[in-house]
Chains A and B, each alone.
Chain A
Amino acid sequence: MREKSNTSRTFLLPLAVGVAAVTLWWLLCTSGTWSPTQFPAPREVWAGFGEEFQQGRLLHDIGASLFRVGTGFGLAVLLGVPLGLWLGSSALARLALLPWINFFRCLSPLAWIGFAILWFGIGHKSAIFLIFMATFFPLVLSVVAAVASIPTVYFRVAHDHGFGSAEMLWRVTLPAIMPQLITALRVVAGVAWVVVVAAEMTGAQEGLGYAVWDARNGLRPDLLAVEMIVIGSIGVALDWLLVQLTKIRSVRWGYER
């Protein structure tokens, strides 16, 4: 019973806050506190949604942005996790490479925009490159830190039971870092979604970031609000998807202890 009221609360409470915020927004607009050129009213934003949707632009932009994030983030995971595992197992490699990985992690991805356009032109490739640069390095560092925190007793137990080195990696190191890895993936996916919008504002002619830029230049605050609502909602949805990974039975130990 308690559980049921908790799950309905997790939906009802945020919904109530949302309804209250929109009502306040509507009140401020109708009372004339804000001028319509500075702050679009709910009604105009709703109309903007219809306009963007009917022209097919909205879905097209969402598709472009998701494709770029999926590819850039996917590449970062595919290359970053193995590199992190390798660095985690080799003290010499850590010594040689960690300072450099840290160096690149400290570079704002926006600093790469100039090179991205020079090297890849305007479009998918440069945005994917920027997302990769923004996510690869923090992901590698998270994996290295997670490997370093594995209690040595797990390796001793595995050794006592005759695990070979490949088995150590797949059946000890990887499952042992899984809870921390999932957390890192959530953080890094959030970064990717923020970066794609920034990247598309200068390096693309489609995508949600480009749409934001276009709405700004066209002096269309209603469309600007539309894009912002879509960007925020998709970001929350992506995180929700990754949170589902934490429900896998063999990783629960990382969150319930």
Chain B
Amino acid sequence: MSDKPLRLHNVSRSFGEVAVIQGLNLEIGHGEFVAIVGPSGCGKTTLLNLLSGFDKPTAGTVERFGQVRTVYQQGGLLPWLTAAQNISLGLRHIMPKAKQDQQLQDLLNLIRLDGFAHHYPHQLSGGMRQRVEIARALAGDSDILLMDEPFSSLDYLTRLRMRQELARLLALRPRTVVFVTHDIEEAAQLADRVVVLTERPAHIQDTLAIELPRPRNLTDPAVVHATHHILAKLGLED
């Protein structure tokens, strides 16, 4: 396997007259956690669609090595399946059945769903639903995790808890992650590298590496410093 699971070379995407992404270069290393921040409507979801191969660039090349799983912005749990059945979708290709059941049990334990495995998504809290989605994306042998503002619909405290939860799960099951958010604090707390996009047409305005090992506290001086650095770049702090 290549040492760079994702490579974008001079990528542009326009819809008719509207240029959404223009001349974007990005390489993401194995096991790296990259956060993409940018104003809403700037093309973050479009970028993830290019990375997953769902959409094709109008110019430039996208290279991808490994199996991709996406956590969608709108929430991608199938409402007619229970939490356990939804997670099992990610284990479909695992044979024999006994091994699949064992892995399902492991994942359920991992996200501490306790008595809620056989509940349907509409019976779960927002945080639980996100945990089920993450478990499904981590199931099996996926390599690359694309996450589109996964926590933006949660309340503040649940969001903080989900950040911890994601960092904990990734420590146990490392993946290459591209995490889209408009929450700069969230990006600084979670990512190895934060990529700041401009307004549409999006290109990279700034990139910031955060050397501190994960998981981290929100109030860790390095996280605070990174947050300040990004806000200053955006002209929101001096």
- List residues of chain A with CB within 8 A of the CB of B54: 156
The segment out of A65-73, A170-178, A184-192 that lies at the interface is A170-178
Report which of B72, B80, B89 forms a contact with A156, defined as CB distance below 8 A: B72
Q: How far is the CA of A158 from the CA of B54 in the complex (A)?
A: 13
Q: How far is the CA of A156 from the CA of B54 in the complex (A)?
A: 9
Chain A CB within 10 A, most for which of B78, B92, B122: B78
Determine whether A3 belongs to the interface, using a CB cutoff of 8 Å to chain B.
no
A162/B72 contact (C-beta < 8 A), A249-B120, A253-B120 known: no
Q: How far is the CA of A97 from the CA of B104 in the complex (A)?
A: 45
Verify A157–B93 contact, CB threshold 8 A: no
Verify B89–A157 contact, CB threshold 8 A: yes
Q: How far is the CA of A250 from the CA of B76 in the complex (A)?
A: 16
A172/B78 contact (C-beta < 8 A), A153-B72, A157-B89, A161-B89 known: yes
A252/B72 contact (C-beta < 8 A), A157-B89, A162-B92 known: no
Verify A175–B76 contact, CB threshold 8 A: no
- With both chains docked as a complex, state the minimum distance between the C-beta of A177 and any C-beta of chain B, in angstroms: 10
**In A125-177, which residues have CB < 8 Å from any B CB?**
151, 153-154, 156-158, 160-162, 172, 175-176
> Interface code A220-257, partner B: CB below 8 Å = 1, 0 otherwise?
00000000000000000000000000000111111011
- List residues of chain A with CB within 8 A of the CB of B102: none
Chain A CB within 10 A, most for which of B52, B76, B92: B76
- List residues of chain B with CB within 8 A of the CB of A178: 80
Chain A CB within 10 A, most for which of B52, B80, B90: B80
Q: How far is the CA of A256 from the CA of B90 in the complex (A)?
A: 26
Closest residue on chain A to residue B90 by CB atoms: A161
Verify B80–A250 contact, CB threshold 8 A: yes
Determine whether B75 belongs to the interface, using a CB cutoff of 8 Å to chain A.
yes
- With both chains docked as a complex, state the minimum distance between the C-beta of B159 and any C-beta of chain A, in angstroms: 21
Report which of B68, B80, B93, B121 forms a contact with A162, defined as CB distance below 8 A: B93
- We find that the number of chain A residues with CB closer than 8 angstroms to chain B is 21
Verify B122–A252 contact, CB threshold 8 A: yes
Q: How far is the CA of A250 from the CA of B70 in the complex (A)?
A: 24
Closest residue on chain B to residue A253 by CB atoms: B79
- List residues of chain A with CB within 8 A of the CB of B163: none
- We find that the number of chain B residues with CB closer than 8 angstroms to chain A is 20
Determine whether B2 belongs to the interface, using a CB cutoff of 8 Å to chain A.
no
Q: How far is the CA of A178 from the CA of B90 in the complex (A)?
A: 24
Chain A CB within 10 A, most for which of B68, B70, B72, B93: B72
Verify B92–A157 contact, CB threshold 8 A: no
Verify B78–A154 contact, CB threshold 8 A: yes
Report which of B75, B90, B121 forms a contact with A253, defined as CB distance below 8 A: B121
Closest residue on chain A to residue B92 by CB atoms: A161
- List residues of chain A with CB within 8 A of the CB of B70: 156, 160
**In B75-132, which residues have CB < 8 Å from any A CB?**
75-76, 78-81, 89-90, 92-93, 120-122
Q: How far is the CA of A158 from the CA of B89 in the complex (A)?
A: 8
Closest residue on chain A to residue B75 by CB atoms: A153
Verify A250–B120 contact, CB threshold 8 A: yes
Verify B120–A156 contact, CB threshold 8 A: no
- List residues of chain A with CB within 8 A of the CB of B122: 252-253, 256-257
- With both chains docked as a complex, state the minimum distance between the C-beta of B55 and any C-beta of chain A, in angstroms: 11
Report which of A176, A256, A257 forms a contact with B80, defined as CB distance below 8 A: A176
Closest residue on chain A to residue B122 by CB atoms: A253
- List residues of chain B with CB within 8 A of the CB of A175: 78, 80
Determine whether B74 belongs to the interface, using a CB cutoff of 8 Å to chain A.
yes
> Interface code A81-103, partner B: CB below 8 Å = 1, 0 otherwise?
00000000000000000000000
Q: How far is the CA of A162 from the CA of B93 in the complex (A)?
A: 9
Q: How far is the CA of A252 from the CA of B82 in the complex (A)?
A: 12
Q: How far is the CA of A176 from the CA of B89 in the complex (A)?
A: 16
Determine whether B69 belongs to the interface, using a CB cutoff of 8 Å to chain A.
yes
Q: How far is the CA of A15 from the CA of B76 in the complex (A)?
A: 45
- List residues of chain A with CB within 8 A of the CB of B92: 161-162
Q: How far is the CA of A29 from the CA of B49 in the complex (A)?
A: 74
Verify A153–B80 contact, CB threshold 8 A: no
Q: List 29 A-B contacts (CB under 8 A).
A: A151-B74, A153-B72, A153-B74, A153-B76, A156-B70, A156-B72, A156-B76, A157-B76, A157-B78, A158-B78, A160-B68, A160-B69, A160-B70, A161-B90, A162-B92, A162-B93, A172-B78, A175-B80, A250-B80, A250-B81, A250-B120, A252-B120, A253-B79, A253-B80, A253-B120, A253-B121, A254-B79, A256-B122, A257-B122
Chain A residues in the interface with B (C-beta under 8 A) = 151, 153-154, 156-158, 160-162, 172, 175-176, 178, 249-254, 256-257
